[in-house]
Amino acid sequence: MYKHLQKNKTEKTLHDCYRIVEEFISTFKNASPASIDDFLDKNTRDEFKIVGKICVVIAISRFENSNADFMTEWKDTDSSHRYFKELEYIPHGRTDTFRHGHLELIRGWYNYLWKKIYEGDINNNLSKLTFITFDYDRSLEHFLYTRLINLLNLKDDNAIKLFNESVMIHHVYGQLGFFKWQKGGDVFNDYKTLDFRLLEKNFKKFSVINYQFADDLNSLPSELGEEENDYLDKILSIAGEIKTYTEAIEQHKIQDYFTNVLDLE
């Protein structure tokens, strides 16, 4: 948010931004919206929009993983199950926790779709598909691209050509950036969880508590380092790809206008 306000020439310190985030948390909780999308669409405070979009990016990014297993899922079961197994579980870096259960095959629609695609002429089947999604995540793109490479033994260049010429996926409300192999986007973001540990560690020094109890305000840090700034720019760019209901509608109105003009010509 600090970077967003800087770019829009709004005079706010990092400590001001910390307060705005706390206000966002309180306001969002007390507003009781059905979703973050509803809140961002209804609340008119501009500062909250960028905070909310960054929250969306953080939340969804946690589930983006290039090693994602779309074939199996974990089921918690007791030791009486015939497939019972104890696996080490690593929540947020800890290694002292164990999960008890077993893996089962997923019967989700991704795998059902993929089976229908590769049965017969794959190129022809892909060209018949157009996806319109209201989600921000890119799991479908990652799933299909990964399957094409592995099933057909394609090199990256050939897979990129086949995917971009055949598969149409439209995110109505935007997405968490684009893969480097995708056409149509400038904000590149790999399919992995964004690492916020660097920012979490360094942002503690800008907390309201430090600000309130400091003997000398001039001794408090006022700027972030180059590494943090670069990472914030990336996160802000990704957040800029997220659209509210109203923003999406307005964008489509503009697109329709130019389409109609071109049709008239």
Question: Over 60: is that where the pLDDT of 104 sits?
Answer: yes
Per the listing, tokens 């405070």 go with 45
Per the listing, tokens 């199950």 go with 81
Which tens digits make up the pLDDT trace of 17-46? 778 889 999 999 999 999 888 999 899 898
Alpha-carbon distance values, 83 to 74, 100, 104, 114, 116 (Å): 11, 10, 9, 27, 30
Residue 258's pLDDT is: 46
Residue 128's pLDDT is: 84
Domain boundaries, the chain: 2-62+193-244, 72-105, 109-189
Which tens digits make up the pLDDT trace of 121-152? 988 898 888 899 989 999 999 999 999 999 99
Question: Over 90: is that where the pLDDT of 3 sits?
Answer: no
Question: pLDDT higher for 214 or 204?
Answer: 204
Question: Over 90: is that where the pLDDT of 239 sits?
Answer: yes
State the chain's mean pLDDT as an integer. 77
Q: Which of 226, 228, 179 is nearest to 203 (CA)?
A: 228
Using CA atoms of 104, 105, 108, 112 in order, give the dihedral in degrees to the nearest 10: -170
